[in-house]
Amino acid sequence: MSTNILRQSIEHAKRLEAKNGQLTAQLSLQTPSLHRAIQTPLDDTVPVLLDFVVRYIEHVVEFVDVLSIIGINANCCEYTEAVVNFCTSAFDQALPLSNAQTLNGQKLTGQNALATLMAQAYIAHRVIEEVNEHFAQQFNEPLIPMDMTRSNLIIHQLIGEPLANQLDLMAQGIAEQLKRDYLRLDSGIFDQNASQEIAWGIEITHWPCLTDTLAVNLSLGQGSVKTTGVD
């Protein structure tokens, strides 16, 4: 799926949500049972979570556009484009729903397009997370200076189990295929010197999608950390 088509799908889903409030209703039901580590404004929880979900989805488009530019600048399009293609193809993935067709206990229908995109975006973001971990293990640097781990944890709960666990397995399978077919050091495609160009070849402040923050906090351990859909 091209990013232009994906943007159109997101806008369509946002219009549907504004009309029928399907995901808003789902989030309203989930709010009382949110994990205590997810901290939101008490009087504004549902709008904040909805905004978080929308921007989480939109970030996939922003990420793949930036990654394409990085590939050109670092002369490594062969494998950055592979990651881009796998991330956008996540939105063509059929969700492994049960006969009940539910997402965290709620029926998932064509009218709940935003919830479907949230689940598909979760696959893409988890693929990115797995690929970044692969690069970090090989070069002590991620593919791109961004960490979606905390945002993914929030979306994991909003999706609910067992579906989120199944999506994790799908993402891990995609990432393994990427690493096997495109990111192997002995494949002849991967330039071992490119990691420095990828890590330092851009100024992170040039890309708002890498530094933007959302009004959702995730408390980890003893403290509370400001979570981002793009952090």
In the chain, where are the structural domains located? 3-227
| Residue-wise pLDDT tens digits, 146-192 | 778 888 989 998 998 888 999 999 999 988 888 888 776 555 555 55
Distance CA 225, CA 217 (A): 6
pLDDT band, very low/low/confident/very high, at 229 (cuts 50, 70, 90): very low
Q: pLDDT: is 3 or 142 the higher one?
A: 3
Percentage of residues in the chain having pLDDT higher than 70: 69
Asked if residue 8 has pLDDT above 90, the reply is yes
Residue 88 CA to residue 101 CA, distance in Å, equals 23
**How large is the C-alpha radius of gyration of the chain?**
18
Q: Which residues contact 145 (CB under 8 A, 6 or more apart)?
A: 199, 204, 210
Q: Binning pLDDT at 50, 70 and 90, where does residue 44 land?
A: confident
Q: What is the pLDDT of residue 78?
A: 73
Model confidence pLDDT, tens digit, residues 52-69: 999 999 988 888 887 777
